[in-house]
Structures are given as structure tokens and as C-alpha cells.
Amino acid sequence: MVRAPCCEKMGLKRGPWTAEEDMTLVAHIEQHGHSNWRALPKQAGLLRCGKSCRLRWINYLRPDIKRGNFTSDEEEAIIQVHAMLGNRWSTIAARLPGRTDNEIKNVWHTHLKKRLESSSKPSGQAAPKRKAKKPAVAASALEGPTSEPASSSPGQSLSTSSATGYSMASSLENTGSSSSEEFQIDDSFWSETLAMSADSSGSGMESSDTFGVDSGAPSSSNDEMDFWVTLFMQASDIQSLSQI
DNA sequence: AACCTCGCCAACCGCTGCTCG
DNA sequence: ACGAGCAGCGGTTGGCGAGGT
């Protein structure tokens, strides 16, 4: 299928976003939503292609996005889910509310992959010979849309409810679990979740009936997806119960 | 102090799958 | 049933900054 290039190269801006562009995009989405990414930049008066706008919103400007370093629990979760699903970053991201697939992908390639590789080596060498991740750089990232130190930091002004919540966040909210204004997962959540996944992966990813997935072993990716969806639904139930 | 090397991250590119006419 | 258009996804890259020499 032949398709037109995602954007006419003529006249469309590329590269890092400025604070003004960020604000324009955010303001437009807050007002009109983003039902049509392709038409959005034109309507908003942005010289960007829709794809670029979508990426910027998803990865940076969404109000429900969580910045800052990944916790060890989050990293463990990524490792676990990646072991099950492979490079399905968006699926993994759906398990980590507030984290984007791009961010997770970056973390995987820069940290987790190496960590796993080094841990699989017998002598445990290959320690990072360079600096540790610079502290709080990610947390401050929102303050500086790339080229501009965003004193305006658009994300901070977005206290309105998320236009596009990740499925996990919304499903957890549906369970009635507390704060919808800012979704937070405490350590116990991950401990329980990971414990469940460890249990099931040990004896059992084969025994899918643990989670009511019928028709035998989850050999297909759909079954795996069902497994993880079920897993997180149950995990959210646990969290809900723990708050009673 | 200057240069070099490397890690991190935002953004781009191209493909895939879904939806709609 | 088919094709076109679109959003979404994953791989890759380039710029920048920090640490090392």
C-alpha cells in the first residue's frame, strides 16, 4: 500500500519543540481534544506534522505523565513484563501508569538491558564505568522543553483530568481506588504484583486456568495479553482491598 | 584547560494494523 | 471484499551534557 509521506516536508518544522509550540499544542488539545491528529496542527496553527504533535503530547505533554527516575520496583516490573512480552513497549507502558513507551524503551536500552547482560555474566563485571544517571535530570526535564528551559513548563499547568489516560490508570480508577487526580502506585502494589507474576511464572504461565483463561496454554500472544490484563486487574483488586 | 568518549533522551522514520467508505 | 487513510508502535538516530584523559 503506497501512502503519502506522513507530512509534506515543505514548510513543516522539525526538531526540538519550543515552549511556545508546547503551549500551543497543550492549549489546543485542552480545548478541542485530539480526535484527529492529522488535522490538529493545522487547526492549532502549528507548523508540525500530526505525527510529531502526537508524539510530543504522548511522551511529554500529557498531564498524567510521571517524570523522574524509575523506581527499582518499576524497573523490576519492566524486566518481568519484558521477559513475558518482549519488546512490546506500549503494552509494558500500559502497566506502568504515567510512563511512556518511549521512556520505557530508553530505560531498557540504556539501563536494564545492560544490567541483565552483566548479571548474566559469571564474574559480574561490566559495571558501569561511567557516571550514574545524573540525579533529577529526568525530574527536571519537564521544566525544559528541550531547547527552552520552560519556565512555562506546560505540563505543570495541566491539572485538568487527563485527556488520554492510559488504560491501566483508567481501569484502576474504575475499581474505585482512590486518587484519580494523580495516580500513584506504592511499593506494596508492585511487591504484590510481582509476587503474583513470579508465582505464576514459576509453575505457571502454562496453567492459565489460574486466571480463568481457558483453552489451554497461553501460547499465543493474545493469551499472554489476557494473562497480564487479568493479572493487573487482580492486582488492582488487591490494592483496593488493602485500602479498606 | 582542552579535547575525547560515552550515556541519555527526545525526536524521527518506516512499518503495521485498524477503521471507514 | 477491497483499498485508502489514519493512528499507533517499535527501531533508530542525532544532539547534548557529563565524566575521563
What's the one-letter identity of residue A23? M
Q: Is the CB of A165 under 7 A from strand C?
A: no
User: What mean pLDDT value characterizes chain A?
Assistant: 61
Q: Is the CB of A132 under 7 A from strand C?
A: no
pLDDT over 90, % of chain A: 3
User: Tell me: the pLDDT tens digits for A178-190?
Assistant: 333 333 444 444 4
Q: Is the CB of A91 under 7 A from strand C?
A: yes
Between A232 and A207, whose confidence is greater? A232
Say yes or no to pLDDT of A114 above 60.
yes
* Contact partners, residue A154, CB within 8 Å, separation at least 6: A19, A22, A23, A26, A61, A145
Say yes or no to pLDDT of A61 above 60.
yes
Say yes or no to pLDDT of A162 above 50.
no
Positions on chain C within 7 A of a protein C-beta: 3-12, 17-20
C-alpha cell at A35: 480526535
Confidence of residue A234 (pLDDT cuts 50, 70, 90): low
Query: Which contacts of A123-126 are long-range, i.e. CB under 8 A and separated by 24 or more positions?
Result: none
Res A35: pLDDT: 83
Q: Is the CB of A115 under 7 A from strand B?
A: no
Between A77 and A10, whose confidence is greater? A77
Cβ-contact A148, A19 below 8 angstroms: yes
User: Could you identify the residue written with the cell 506500549?
Assistant: A90
User: Tell me: the pLDDT tens digits for A204-220?
Assistant: 333 333 333 333 333 44
pLDDT average, residue stretch A76-95:
87
Cβ-contact A17, A152 below 8 angstroms: no
Res A120: pLDDT: 65
Each domain of chain A, given as residue ranges in start order, spans 15-72+98-125+133-157, 167-242
Q: Is the CB of A88 under 7 A from strand C?
A: yes
Positions on chain B within 7 A of a protein C-beta: 6-17
Cβ-contact A189, A84 below 8 angstroms: no
Say yes or no to pLDDT of A22 above 70.
yes
Nearest nucleotide relative to A39: CA against C1': C6
Res A226: pLDDT: 52
Burial of A37 (0-12, 13-18, 19+ CB in 10 A): middle
Between A10 and A99, whose confidence is greater? A99
A76 vs A195: CA distance, rounded Å: 11
